[in-house]
Amino acid sequence: LEYVLTKKDMKGKKVLITAGPTVEPIDPVRNITNRSSGRMGYELARAFSYRGAEVTLISGPTNINPPYILKRFINVNTALEMKNEVMKYYKNSDIIVMSAAVSDYKVKNYSNKKIKKENENIILELDRNPDILKELGKIKKENQILIGFAAETNNLLNYAKRKLVEKNCDLIIANDVSKKEIGFDSNLNEIDIINKMGDVTHVKKSSKRDIAFRIIDYIANNYSG
């Protein structure tokens, strides 16, 4: 019933969303990952679909079942795999939302065999992963809406604004990840939406499900066509 009652103001829009963490293997039994439940991205995917959009969700490993209503669901592990899939689908997308917690680094020398604990100290060398959002910012078309997230523990709005500029986003969703009650494993969130002019729109603490719809309201109200 909720689906039927939701206005279909995103009908005809193609939306690409990334969600969840990426996972970078160290050896066959160990990996490096980011804290991320994927919930915010999955709620966005669900909400955009409810509003009539055709959603492609590219997700790192999560415990969430993909909403049945999605157009396309793609599982990935590493940041490089995520980048590959994003590059396949971004061209055709009207709105791109990078809500994934992409691993900034990957292990330089993956070991085919399990690393044994032979030494008191070991050094793991890491290489930078590509910044998917930043690359999209360089190649995006005029009419595409590119939305990033900024997960910060301090200096939230300043860091978020800097990311908006550096990655050439249209919007950035600033997320304070230091607060327990709205943190990684919570169903709640509280965000600020920042646009290119630097205007900040606060969305007060609410369920991630609700916040997803508020983000879409903002897009619907501020971008036409």
- Known binding-site residues for CTP equal 104, 114, 130-133, 149, 163, 167
CA angle 209, 157, 139 (to 5 degrees): 80
Interface with ligand CTP includes 104 (CB under 6 A)? yes
Q: Is the dihedral of CA 92, 96, 100, 102 positive or negative?
A: positive
Contacting residue, 81, 104, 131, 210, with Ca ion by CB under 5 A: 104
Residues 129-148 that bind ligand CTP (CB under 6 A): 129, 131-133, 148
Instruction: Give the x-and-dash track for 164-203 against ligand CTP (CB under 6 A).
Output: ----------------------------------------
Give the chain's end-to-end CA distance (angstroms, integer).
28
**Per CB under 6 A, which region of 4-12, 94-102, 116-124, 197-205 contacts ligand CTP?**
94-102
CA distance 135 to 8: 31
Contact assessment for residue 14 and residue 94, using Cβ atoms and an 8 Å cutoff:
yes
HSE-CB of 184 using CA atoms within 13 angstroms: 15
Interface with Ca ion includes 210 (CB under 5 A)? no
CA angle 123, 126, 119 (to 5 degrees): 15
Residues 26-85 that bind ligand CTP (CB under 6 A): 79
| Interface contacts to ligand CTP, rule CB under 6 A | 79, 98, 100, 102, 104, 129, 131-133, 148-151, 163
